[in-house]
Amino acid sequence: MPGLVTSPTKELQQINMDTDNKKTEKYRGGNLKYRLQRKSSQATKTEGLCFEDMSQWSQSLERLLSSKYGMKIFQAFLKSEFSDENIEFWVVCEEFKKIRNSFRMSSRAKKIFKRYIQAESPREINIDQKTRERIQQNIEAPSTVCFDDAQKIVYGLMERDSYPRFLKSDIYRTLMDSTSQSVNM
């Protein structure tokens, strides 16, 4: 299959072009649609992304987040809008709930607090002061539920704001169109 093999110089050129493009804001927005379109058409043929699965995403945020592809595409969409801290926090909390080692849980809780909860943190999420203070107390003796209040708030924000924008986005519509066309072929 000669068409599948590319020369190393072409790959290096592509990597250099991608690196240069990443320096611009346009790369995060406009080219993202193009990349998702390409990946979507490849995924429908090779990785099982199909119209039926994607149409489930529009039924609820929960269904979108429970889909491997839905989660990835939603994260890419939020990143393109420079608002991916909420989904990032939600995913980190889901992973945190799986920790069973108390030392690791304590260490991870402090990192999550410093990155997302603490005022002026690098990826600060939008929660009220009362919740922030409760979490600060909870991480002194962390449990799998110490971030639940903030996670519920963030989920609600995504459900009311980010999720409806995603469903109206060019990215989602383009993917739906491309998968529905492959069904009709």
11 located within any domain:
no
Is the residue at 25 inside a domain? no
CA triple 93-94-95, angle to 5 deg: 90
Residue 23 has what pLDDT? Answer: 39
Say which amino acid occupies 46.
T
Q: Is residue 83 part of a domain?
A: yes
Note down the domain range covering 119. Answer: 51-182
User: What's the distance, Cα to Cα, between the start and end of the chain in Å?
Assistant: 25
Evaluate whether residue 30 is within a structural domain. no
Task: Evaluate whether residue 73 is within a structural domain.
Answer: yes
CA distance readout (Å), 156 to 15, 150, 151: 38, 10, 9
pLDDT tens figures, 33-55: 555 555 544 443 435 677 888 88
pLDDT in tens, 154-184: 999 999 999 999 999 998 998 888 877 655 5
| pTM to 2 decimal places | 0.71
In a domain, 16, yes or no: no
Structural domain count, the chain: 1
37 found inside a domain: no
CATH number at residue 111: 1.10.167.10
Encode the chain (185 residues) as per-residue pLDDT tens digits: 333 333 333 333 333 334 344 434 444 445 665 555 555 444 434 356 778 888 899 999 999 999 999 999 999 999 998 889 999 999 999 999 999 999 999 999 999 999 999 999 999 999 999 999 999 999 999 999 999 999 999 999 999 999 999 999 998 998 888 877 655 55
Q: Answer yes or no: are the C-beta atoms of 157 and 126 closer than 8 Å.
A: yes
Residue 27 in any domain: the answer is no
